[in-house]
Structure 1
Amino acid sequence: MNNSVVENLDREKISNRAAVGILGSVLHSFDVNPDRFTLSKSSIHRKRRNVRKEIATEIQKKFEKRNGVLVHFDGKQLVSSNRQKREMLAVVVTGNNLTEQILNCQFLENGTGRSVAELDFECLKSWDLDTFVKGKHDTTNVNSGEMNGACVILEQLLGRKLLDLPCRHHVYELVLMTAYLVIFEANTTSPDDEVFKSFRDARDSINQGNISGLDNEQLNQEERRELIKFCDEMLQKSHIRDDYEEFLQLSLMCLDPLRRFKLKLPGAVHHARWMAKAIYGLKMFLFRDKFFFEGVTVEMLQRFALFLVRIYLKGWFQAPLTLSAPRNDHKFVNALSNYDDTQLAEATLQKFQKHLWYLTEILLPSTGMRLGESGPNPSMGGAMASSCILMHFESASINIKNYTTNLQLFIVEMLTQHRST
């Protein structure tokens, strides 16, 4: 077997036992006696393992090292070769016009922050990237803990500080999780989501011609037109995941039921992918007049759909815009502060506030960014930018002390005095 055959066997997830049968049949089709070759499950296994090592070594040799790369790491529970569930960690590097490169995927002895950090460090050392990496990227508790988190321990192993770049979509997923728990009072420890189970079981009887969107009393015309325009603009762009596009299409159908898209049948719901819950919630809302959902009321679905379309939609799709992050996050805070569902607004705002730590004394006066609709303005001075941030906090009736350090408060006080003169 050459490298090409092994690559295709792996890509199609063909087992060693099945590979023996396939290769034997191919040899027979060419009138070649299979007994002339060593065809067994163990020989196929050894050959595939050796070829994988050769491919990995070649990729590592050709990898172009550049300064300023970011290391990403995330784990997932998978079944190992001994049929036990274990944590597998994937380590990836990106940045500085670098093609995304997987460094390693390996099972951990345990899921502690130290185990994660040590594997990250070993990967960086083996790829000779320990001096090139400048930032780390993750948001889960085991990684971002202040004392025993993987990020802190990785900095200790490297002997220097790294730039924190948490995934902003993960932050907004926490907001969605909070909204879901507040509205449906659901239990997320169960492997099966009882909230969406009845809708999933009835998927074969869905009549896609009968849907009901948001009423005029729930959303005024001006806001509706603005959200429709936003969805249309986002749909013109390419999305890395199909569920992002589906979220936009369902939102448009809630805003304008005359806009029709092909509805996909309800699929699996994973607690790790909160976007699936948003998609389920919007589908159930659209068909609320046609189905009886056990344990779920129409008021719950309406409350969830309104939050998703009015508040969450823009925040989610603007989250990856790094340069606009301060402006967009302040607009999101403002939207939550003025949302008429007080219970939901307070819970989601409390969760979101925990992730505004990046608004430091360095960023506040030097952000150089307008908070209006015009977007980033590099020509704006630091003092004027900070003044804009301050005015935005004031207009949202938010206590800036919740977001700032003592040095920031001193800067804000100086800017306030400067603005009043």
Structure 2
Amino acid sequence: KGVSQLLASRIIPGGSGKDIATEVLDQIESFKITEKVKCVCSDTTSTNTGCNNGAVKIIEDRLGRRLIYLACRHHALEIIPKTLFENLIEKSSSPDIGKICKNFATEWEKLDQKNYTPATMANDTTCNAVLTQDAKLRITNCVFKSLQKEQVRADYEYFLELELIFIGETPPKGVHFRPPIALTSARFMGRIIYCLTIYMFAVSGQYTLDQKTLEAMRDFNLFIVTTYVEPWFTATVPSVAPRTDLNLLISIFKYESVSKTVADIAMKAWVNHLWYLAPHCIALSFFDRDVPVEVKVEMVKNLNIAPKEKVPPKRLKWPKTQKIAEDLTVASFVNSHTQEFFTLLNLDTSFLTAHPSEWHSHDSFSAALEIVEALVVVNDVAERAVKLTTDFNGILTRSEKCFQNILLVMHKTLQNDSKECLTLSHYSRKKEE
């Protein structure tokens, strides 16, 4: 519970769903944990999630049982800014982040960093209409709440600080801009940071953009600061995932009143990633403190509804013709398949016989909550393992077997250390001790 352990980090030559599944199964079998596997978390590429030849499906077939699929929420959520950027601002077929961002980086040293203009001072009617006092207060509260948490990456913290600067507020550490850094097109957070920064210096008159690009960047930024921040910075919390994803769906739908173009692009991207509104994962909402009691009462009732599908889908497919009601709740997605979530995780459901207001006094609920809170809904651990492999591949040893063993030891040593501690002097001291 709450413990992560790297088993292996190998380059899989084939890269097909079958190849990935075979490697995963080989590893869990070698560590003799096959029977303990209950869930699988991965990014949502078709190689992993394909309904016939995806790695997850093949793993389930070979294990002979269904697993709870916890789609990486970071991977799903980053599809939105990536799609918006490419449709509104610039498409890039090369690995780099694009011409607009590269050009800005080359001009950075010439800019007076004190001469910037927040969106609230841009004399722009769209900015003024969107960034009302209520909207600014909501954004500010969300950002400060996120800043109070320890951020895993420095660019996440900087993104939050830029949000405040963009709406005319001052971050706790004061107003400062970091020099642009080289980024690949895969780093979506870099695009957001560039767009927020470029817009403020373009509006101030220091940096030149054509009017079309300036307006596109404005539209991109406004959506990000008003609609995207909260979902992203709560992405790692399992219990809030269904409610957050549903709220994002509704927010995108309502965003049509601001920009139909932006709303349509975002909706097209997000509607294909409703993994946490599917029958299994919707069960996480039973443990969400912010789901109203009356909604939880309805959720319990809906556990008896038999759906049309015999096999519970991993992802909710939203019908194109179905409208999105603003009063839609997570209870609408609960059905009898949802009970499998509790069965697969061996959770005692006796608390469900009590009124939701009394659940916290039941030991069965507390025990289930502890397990739910330990679930992993982002694959950041796997990505850090890949980074570890990339950094040390071929340096420590040429033997693949020895290299994998070294990774296991390094992961165990590093997993509880902060980024600031990962210095040569730090490990020199550890060695001396």
TM-score (norm 2): 0.63
Contact 1:367–1:385 (8 Å) recurs in 2: no
SS of the equivalent of 1:211 reads coil
User: Given the alignment of the two structures, is residue 353 of structure 1 paired with residue 271 of structure 2, yes or no?
Assistant: yes
1:6 match: none
1:375 match: 290
Contact 1:124–1:130 (8 Å) recurs in 2: yes
1:242 match: 154
Residue of 79, 84, 105 corresponding to 1:200: 105
Change (3 A) 1:293 1:111: farther
User: Given the alignment of the two structures, is residue 179 of structure 1 paired with residue 121 of structure 2, yes or no?
Assistant: no
2:243 match: 327
Contact 2:238–2:284 (8 Å) recurs in 1: no
Give the superposition deviation at 1:188: 3.8
Q: How does 1:20-419 map to 2 (within 5 A)?
A: 96-98=1-3, 100-138=4-42, 139-191=44-96, 193-215=98-120, 216-256=128-168, 258-259=170-171, 260-288=174-202, 289-293=205-209, 297-339=213-255, 340-361=258-279, 367-368=285-286, 375-376=290-291, 381-383=296-298, 395-396=325-326
Distance 1:385 1:270 in 2: 46
Distance 1:113 1:383 in 2: 38
SS of the equivalent of 2:149 reads coil
Please give the per-residue CA displacement for 1:22-41, whole angstroms capped at 9, x wherever unaligned: xxxxxxxxxxxxxxxxxxxx
Change (3 A) 1:125 1:248: same
Contact 1:368–1:380 (8 Å) recurs in 2: no
1:323 counterpart letter in structure 2: S
- Count how many residue pairs are aligned between Structure 1 and Structure 2: 302
Contact 2:118–2:167 (8 Å) recurs in 1: yes
Structure 1: which 5+ runs fail to align? 1-95, 388-392, 409-421
SS of the equivalent of 1:164 reads strand
2:50 counterpart letter in structure 1: G
Distance 1:328 1:294 in 2: 36
SS of the equivalent of 2:6 reads strand
Give the superposition deviation at 1:130: 1.6
Larger radius of gyration: 1
Identity %: 26
Contact 1:193–1:269 (8 Å) recurs in 2: no
Which structure has more strand as a fraction of its residues? 1
Give the superposition deviation at 1:206: 3.1
Change (3 A) 1:368 1:150: closer
SS of the equivalent of 1:136 reads strand
Please give the per-residue CA displacement for 1:362-420, whole angstroms capped at 9, x wherever unaligned: 666894478xxx71457864416789xxxxx86428899xx969989xxxxxxxxxxxx
Contact 2:295–2:329 (8 Å) recurs in 1: no
Which structure has more helix as a fraction of its residues? 2
1:107 counterpart letter in structure 2: I
Contact 2:116–2:201 (8 Å) recurs in 1: yes
Greater CA drift, 193-202 or 290-299:
290-299
Change (3 A) 1:331 1:101: same
Distance 1:366 1:127 in 2: 29
Higher relative contact order (CA 8 A, sep 6+): 2
SS of the equivalent of 2:39 reads strand
Distance 2:272 2:90 in 1: 22
Runs of 4+ off more than 3 Å: 188-192, 257-261, 293-296, 360-370, 376-382, 384-387, 397-400, 403-408
Change (3 A) 1:189 1:159: farther
RMSD over aligned Cα, in angstroms?
A: 3.1
Change (3 A) 1:303 1:110: same
Contact 1:212–1:257 (8 Å) recurs in 2: no
Structure 2: which 5+ runs fail to align? 121-127, 303-322, 338-433
TM-score (norm 1): 0.64
1:225 counterpart letter in structure 2: L
Distance 1:320 1:365 in 2: 16
